[in-house]
Amino acid sequence: MSNGAIQQAGPYHQLLTSSKEFNGLVNAHKETAGSDQLVSATFSQKSLTSIKSTQASALKQYKAPNGNQLIQQEERGKGDMGMKPYLQYLNRMKGYILLSMASLCYLIFMICQILQNSWMASNVDNPLVSTLQLVFVYFLIGVFSSVFMFIRCQCLVTLGLQSSKDLFSQLMNSLFRAPMSFYDFTPLGRVLSRVSSDLSIVDLDIPFSLSFAVAGTIGLYSNLIVLAVVTWQVLIVAIPMVYVAIHMQRYYFASAKEVMRLNGTTKSSLANHVAETVA
């Protein structure tokens, strides 16, 4: 069509070799879609052969390994990925600094808790310490620890918000700038699963899991040190129990990771089915 009127009609290859307007339209479309293979057609039979070979190479490039499957099965990791995903997450927007500050604040909070209990236990029956002095020092330590707990919460919220915004921006840029061939071979449900459930994990689960892991580790070792100082005999029971707990966690982590991966990969097919049904 040109100027609102049909100039020429025919099969695709015939129009490609005989119409300059159609040839230019196809080339412009391929440039816009980000394709590296531009159609360079002339009015000779040699150019038609070149176009067919170009199309064959393109089909071969995007051909599935089994020869007839256009959309590949979604890939998922296997085994233990180590600390690499968490390090990549903490690399976003000064995550190391924020997590270190949050850990330090929680450590100071635990020290204040121990000081509170020690002060109350050692001076509750001390005649040289008045009740007002006892309560005032206890209250002062509590306020001091609450300030550090507030700073810890601020650091964790900032860590989760900034990392989530950065990852979301990169994901949106990648989706909007992806070539059209990406959407030909990637189901819509898989994209929806990445931008919904996976981003929800990044927004909520990872920051809270990191905070719980740091708090649990610091709390465990703090209580263990206090118990070892007061009654060292508890180490006879604590050390074997820690050893058993570590081995049980390894068994649990292996199965939990596989279940989470299966859950993440099976949601995409369901989301794709719902999207196609609604459409």
pLDDT of residue 109: 93
Q: Which positions ≥6 away from 105 have C-beta within 8 Å?
A: 148, 149, 151, 152, 155
What are 2's strand-pairing partners?
Answer: 5
For residue 111, the model assigns a pLDDT of: 92
Examine the pLDDT at 104 and tell me if it is beyond 90. Answer: yes
Q: In this predicted structure, which of 99-113, 190-204, 236-250 has the lowest mean pLDDT? A: 190-204
CB 133 within 8 A of CB 141: no
- Residue 4 gets the label, from left (phi > 0), alpha (psi -120 to 50) or beta, of left
pLDDT tens by residue, 63-90: 444 445 556 666 666 767 777 888 888 8
Average pLDDT over residues 113-132: 85
User: Would you place residue 151 in the very low, low, confident or very high pLDDT band (cuts 50, 70, 90)?
Assistant: very high
Q: How confident is the model at residue 59 (pLDDT cuts 50, 70, 90)?
A: very low
Residues 170-181: pLDDT tens digits?
888 888 888 887
The candidate with the shortest Cα–Cα distance to 87, out of 210, 196, 217, is 210
Q: Which residue has the tokens 């390894």?
A: 250
Domain map (residue ranges) of the chain: 12-61, 85-278
Distances, alpha carbon 56 to alpha carbons 16, 25, 52, 60, 156, in Å: 16, 21, 6, 6, 53
Highest-scoring range by mean pLDDT, 2-6, 18-22, 52-56: 18-22
The reported pLDDT for the residue numbered 93 is: 76
The C-alpha atoms of residue 41 and residue 1 are separated, in whole angstroms, by 19
Residue 196 has pLDDT above 90, yes or no: no
Cα–Cα separations (whole angstroms), residue 172 to 86, 146, 178, 270: 21, 39, 10, 22
3-state secondary structure of 2: strand
pLDDT of residue 65: 45
pLDDT at 30: 64
**Residue 39: what pLDDT?**
41
**Spatial separation of the C-alpha atoms in residues 218 and 102, rounded to whole Å:** 12
Cα separation, 51 vs 15, whole angstroms: 12
Residue range 221-271, pLDDT digits in tens: 888 888 888 888 888 888 888 889 888 887 787 777 777 777 666 666 665
Supply the pLDDT for residue 103. 92
Mean pLDDT confidence for 47-62: 50
Average pLDDT over residues 100-116: 92
Q: Which DSSP helix (H) or strand (E) runs through 180?
A: helix 180-185
**Is residue 113 over pLDDT 70?**
yes
Residue 146 has pLDDT above 90, yes or no: yes
d(CA 163, CA 199): 11
**Average pLDDT of 39-54?**
48
The CA-atom distances, in angstroms, between 79 and each of 83, 165, 183, 247, 256 are 13, 29, 29, 16, 11
Q: What is the pLDDT of residue 40?
A: 44
Task: Provide the β-strand partners of residue 5.
Answer: 2
